[in-house]
Chain A
Amino acid sequence: MLFTLTWRGAVGTAVALPWLFAAWFTPSRANVGGRITILERPGAKTTDLANAVVYLEPAGLGRGNPAPTPVEIVMQSRQFIPRVRVVTAGSTVLFPNQDPFRHNVFSNTGPAMFDLGLYGRGDSKGATLRKAGAFPIFCNIHARMSAFVLVVPTPFFTQANADGRFTISGVPPGSYTLRVWHDRGGEHTRPLNVPSDGVTELEASLDARGYKSVQHKNKFGQPYSPAGRDRY
């Protein structure tokens, strides 16, 4: 045991040394990691933790325009896959149609309004999103299709994995605002001071207990079913 410790210590030292050396000469970068949980109604289980987005907004100075991050949201089997995408402002999101019929992707939300029109299988159209915000994306033909593109003003962002774990790497130490977003759980915000050795085991909890699904309108701002079938 003693030998083992010693040996491991030696290896650790050997590995750490060049890294420390590098850190000495370059601005240090840290990792911010943790876990997201969502409070659900009694009896419900969270299955969509991967839809959670985590990002760090630098406090005060240092706000710049991060580089665009082009992404795709595929339309397949009357679904947007993946359902949530996070991009930096100015990025273009592509919507390739892989269904044997036509879709009509649009967004009705303020700064991100777009309508890609009907297009069929194999075609792909994109929309550039310039303002930060969370923008719902729909198909004008298929009422149940919906996706979210989260446009963030920072390069330090990530999406949680299915367990809710996340890691944002390459974060310069400093003061940040930690923002956690989930389509059902809303937003969680807290100040976060990132030390040089990073932050691990962050715990962020969102509350989805008050979430209520609301049928969205079509691109004309009308219900998909004009007669308005009441649902009780």
Chain B
Amino acid sequence: MIAISGTQPAVPQRTGATNLPAASETPSHSNLSLAWKIFLASAAVIFTVLGGTLLLTTLSARRTADQGVARGLDQTRRLVTVLLEGRERELASGALVFAQGPAFRALVIDKRPEDLLDQGMEAVQQIGASWVQITDAEGVRLAKSDEPTASQDTLAGSVLIGSALEGKVAAGAGIAGDSAIFQAVAVPIPGVTQVAGVLMAALLIDSALAVSIKEATASNIIFFVLDRDGKPRLAASTLGRGPAIAEFLARHEVAKSTEPTAPTKVLGTGDTARSSATGFATRSPMKLSLGDTSYVGNAQPLRSAGGDILGGVIALRSRDLEMAPFVEFRRRIFIAAVLGMALASALSYLLAHRITRPIITLVDATQRVADGDYSAEVTVRTRDEIGTLASAVRTMLMALREKQALVDFLSTSGVATERTNNPPTPRARLSSATPSSSELLPGIMFAGRYEITDLLGAGGAGVVYKAFDQELGEVIAIKTLRTETMSEDPAALERLKSEIRLARRISHRNVVRTHDFGEAEGVYFLTMEFVAGTPLDQLIARTGRIPVAGTLSIATQICRALEVAHEQGIIHRDIKPQNLMVQPDGVLKVMDFGLARLERRTEGLTRVGMVVGTLAYMSPEQLLDENVDARADLYAAGVVLYECLTGRRPLEADSPAVFIGKLLADTPPSPRELNGEVPAALSDLIMRTIAGDRNLRPGSAAELRKQLTRSEA
């Protein structure tokens, strides 16, 4: 029972404060690790799931946002194209109408600058242009609405005016100053027979246009012009005129290449120069960072009537803005996840602790048991498997403690050193007993295989010897039926056979094992397991009484033995200290099922009125030869326990008659009255067990054992 390990000295009942932490340290380490294992595992699962979810949703949202940006930019590009074309068309149609006014045409033919300046202003109002200019049939400027003093330059060289002089309506972008870009149309002014001049109307591309595009598309817009070196310069923007914009434009320098193939842009001729705007090369997706926002953009060119790229429009969209609803969504998911994770962590931590704490207690307790310390308290009170385990450990600990107490008691009382087997009835006493012819002497070879080595004692119906089984090379005990008993009682043989049949059914560490039955030289005998121990009666006689813990161990072991026997339907009928052998290691063995009967009485084996067994341990019903059941054994066990605790039997009498009188009349004092150390619950239990009315006793050996455990706790 005491495990001796190499590193830890097996010191039972260690009280050293230095050892206890050591004993509890290892479990507390495993405590953390087990709890942390559960916690970390659940946390890892949560992290993985949430992290994976966030990652996947982020990736897909980013892709969606990118697609959204691209789509938005494309839509913006198309809308800008449509919008600019629309403005151009409106401008052209307004100019055409104005140019056909007869009064206007007459004034153009008159070529009076003041009238034409007036007409220019009139045209600005009617067409809704930013400014207009009027040339004569040679392309010489006659008036410019916003510049009364404009000189009479020849403008015929420009594709725009030149086309109009040829009678076509031309349109295209133009640059004014160094950073203003406008849309322009030029229409011929019909003369009498030929073109009388050109009316050119310009519409500035300004921030208001950029803002209206932004309102329609949610894209930010930058209009730029290319200066003479081909460097973009900001013309109008929805993002202000900050240095970041200038820097951004400088980064995206666009070669001011004249495409020689680009045809003159003529309105309403299905010209494709404009729609090939996508050819405007931006080497990579344009990127602009403004403050916290980063934009992605694309550009399309603005071309002059001659096809030159004069500038362009850049649409910018922010992926951040596109992502904003998702980012908000993700933020909420994240918060929820963090909260959930915290909650789950706390729960898993608690759970881990809840699961592991009792395990730790048990581990601690068993660890201490392994170290020989049975004093651990198991306080786990759950109803699950761990609770069951805990209660098993608790019971085990209790049994260990009790048995340890018994062992301690035995070792201190000096009994343990004796090598007694069966009731070591003094030889003198045996000798003084009725001499029998069947008595065997040590040294005899019996039944051809058993060498009798010692007389161990006389049982209820026979004599017990220690013998050496030469066949099996094993020490055994042999019990013989006394010849005279056999002759006196013809049923004795039958009873013996019955005994062995029954006894052989029982195999338990607390029951002396019965081996065989035989007859030799006219002697019937029974072989059984040899037990090196002390009969309980001798133990009591020597020490007066047995400590409570030792008694409890004895009680528990008797109960176990009886449980097994009763389960087989075997009632001992003769439980008494002489039949209870206590080994030095504290193991108790119930022996001598010699009077055992099947619960169902076998008629003819027991004579009417015959009372067998020792009187004091017999239950009243057995004395009255009533139908005896398992509770008779319990009664006897109760008397044994009573005797263990108090050193005396419940009722003492000199003669059977007096005894029976007392049994029927007296109530014995409780063990507690005789021994203050006996716990009240135990005392009560014993008194109940030896109750005359068997219905008041515990219902079974198992029940008694359970109550014993409870009385102790």
- Asked if B101 and A142 sit within 8 Å, CB to CB, the answer is no
* Contact of B97 with A by CB under 8 A: yes
A124 to B310, CA, bound (A): 49
Cβ–Cβ < 8 Å partners of B96 in chain A: 227
A218 to B115, CA, bound (A): 18
Minimum CB–CB distance from A226 to chain B (whole Å) comes to 5
How big is chain B's contact interface, by range?
10 to 19
**Residues 158-186 of chain A: 1 if any B CB is under 8 Å from the residue's CB, otherwise 0?**
00000000000000000000000000000
Minimum CB–CB distance from A119 to chain B (whole Å) comes to 11
Minimum CB–CB distance from B512 to chain A (whole Å) comes to 123
* CB-CB nearest in chain B for A139: B103
Interface secondary structure of A, over-half rule: loop
* CB-CB nearest in chain A for B121: A78
**Residues 119-130 of chain A: 1 if any B CB is under 8 Å from the residue's CB, otherwise 0?**
010000000000
- Asked if B103 and A225 sit within 8 Å, CB to CB, the answer is no
A29 to B385, CA, bound (A): 128
Taking a contact as CB atoms closer than 8 A, the residue among A78, A101, A104 that contacts B114 in the complex is A101
A141 to B103, CA, bound (A): 6
Minimum CB–CB distance from B92 to chain A (whole Å) comes to 12
* Contact of A212 with B by CB under 8 A: no
Cβ–Cβ < 8 Å partners of A218 in chain B: 102-103
- Asked if A142 and B102 sit within 8 Å, CB to CB, the answer is no
* CB-CB nearest in chain A for B107: A141
Cβ–Cβ < 8 Å partners of A140 in chain B: 103
A229 to B125, CA, bound (A): 14
Cβ–Cβ < 8 Å partners of A78 in chain B: 118, 122
Minimum CB–CB distance from B675 to chain A (whole Å) comes to 116
- Asked if B103 and A104 sit within 8 Å, CB to CB, the answer is yes
Minimum CB–CB distance from B147 to chain A (whole Å) comes to 15
* CB-CB nearest in chain B for A222: B102
- Asked if B115 and A101 sit within 8 Å, CB to CB, the answer is yes
* Contact of A102 with B by CB under 8 A: yes
A100 to B114, CA, bound (A): 7
Cβ–Cβ < 8 Å partners of B119 in chain A: 141
Taking a contact as CB atoms closer than 8 A, the residue among A102, A104, A142, A226 that contacts B97 in the complex is A226
Cβ–Cβ < 8 Å partners of A224 in chain B: 101, 103
A11 to B96, CA, bound (A): 74
- Asked if A225 and B102 sit within 8 Å, CB to CB, the answer is no
Interface residue ranges of A95-121 to B (CB < 8 Å)? 99-102, 104, 120
22 contacts across the A-B interface (CB closer than 8 A): A78-B118, A78-B122, A100-B114, A101-B112, A101-B115, A101-B117, A101-B118, A120-B114, A141-B107, A141-B115, A141-B118, A141-B122, A142-B122, A143-B126, A218-B102, A222-B102, A225-B101, A225-B126, A226-B97, A226-B102, A229-B93, A229-B97
Besides A218-B103, A226-B100, A226-B101, 16 other A-B contacts (C-beta < 8 A): A78-B122, A99-B118, A100-B114, A101-B114, A102-B112, A120-B114, A140-B103, A141-B104, A141-B107, A141-B115, A141-B118, A141-B119, A142-B122, A218-B102, A225-B97, A227-B97
